[in-house]
Amino acid sequence: MVRYRDQLAHQRRNLKLRVSALLRQQRISCSVARPWTRKWETWLLEVKDLSPEGRWVISQHLRRMAELLKEIAEVEDHLAELTAEDPLVASLQRLSGIGPVTAWTIRAEIGRFDRFRSGKQLARFCALTPRNASSGERQADAGLIKAGNRALRTVLIEAAHRLIRFDEEWKSFAEELLRRGKPKCVVVAATANRWVRRLYHDMQPSRLVA
């Protein structure tokens, strides 16, 4: 169910990219709102410079996007029913920055946390481990490893962005790394890695509360 929802969301993202590409092709831009806000969507429906063919194609994309949004909502309702009494999902949603989609994904993709030997092993499974690119005396990382569960990495990176914005502890952690000259993408990945390693200990079955 989680992966089916992700497939629908991926289709919707692709449609958004196609709409944006068509606008760029016709050299049309909006200066009054950010893309895909309500104000922007109102502008899109009223913009005068679109060719008739472009407007028709965009209307088809918007119609399909509305259908996908309805389908996604139906899947989410079903997932909420399936996990209504799941202690792991309940515990995850009590954590700062974790919404139902992130909790469902962690529940589906990880299952039991005690099947990993350590938080470090879990972080590697989540594809959140830095890839080493050291050579001789040069010490460097080359982004995150390519192996691992990319669905988990996606939702955990998104969660890390929220934690940095809204949780004081993780905000301070990120600010310290930024002061040390780390790029923002590295800071977000490091936050996700550190958070998952802590989560490993917090989500052991003996610590879960129904």
User: Same domain, yes or no, for 104 and 145?
Assistant: yes
Q: Are strands 141-144 and 130-132 parallel, antiparallel or unpaired?
A: antiparallel
Q: Which domain holds residue 169?
A: 87-207
Q: What is the spatial distance between Cα 9 and Cα 118, in angstroms, rounded to a whole number?
A: 32
So what's the pLDDT on residue 130? 84
Same-domain check for residues 150 and 190? yes
How many separate domains does the chain show? Answer: 2
* Beta bridge mates, 144: 130
Q: Indicate the pTM of the whole model.
A: 0.84
Helix (H) or strand (E) holding 165: helix 150-166
Burial 125-148, CB ≥16 within 10 A → b, else e:
bbbbbbeeeeeeeeeeeeebeeeb
- Are residue 123 and residue 146 in the same domain, yes or no? yes
Enumerate long-range contacts of 45-51, CB under 8 Å, 24 or more apart.
50/26, 51/26
Same domain, 148 and 172: yes
What would the two tokens of residue 183 be? 């790029």
Looking at 32, 53, 82, which one is the last position of a domain?
82
Q: In terms of domains, do 10 and 51 share one?
A: yes
Question: Are residues 164 and 94 part of one domain?
Answer: yes
- pLDDT score for 143: 66
pLDDT attached to residue 206:
72
| Residue 197 sits in the same domain as residue 105 | yes
Domain-terminating residue out of 37, 62, 82: 82
Q: Note whether 195 and 117 are same-domain residues.
A: yes
118 with 29, same domain: the answer is: no
What local confidence, expressed as pLDDT, does residue 209 receive? 56
Domain end among 33, 67, 82: 82
| pLDDT tens digit at each of 210 positions of the chain | 999 999 999 999 999 999 999 999 999 999 889 999 999 999 999 998 999 999 999 999 999 999 999 999 999 999 999 999 999 999 999 999 999 999 999 999 999 999 999 999 999 999 998 865 554 454 445 567 677 788 899 999 999 999 999 999 999 999 999 999 999 999 999 999 999 999 999 998 777 654
SS3 call for 135: strand
Q: What is the token pair recorded at 95?
A: 């954590």
Q: φ and ψ at 203, to 5 degrees? A: -105, 15
The pLDDT score that the predictor gives to residue 137 is 55
**Are both 136 and 158 inside the same structural domain?**
yes
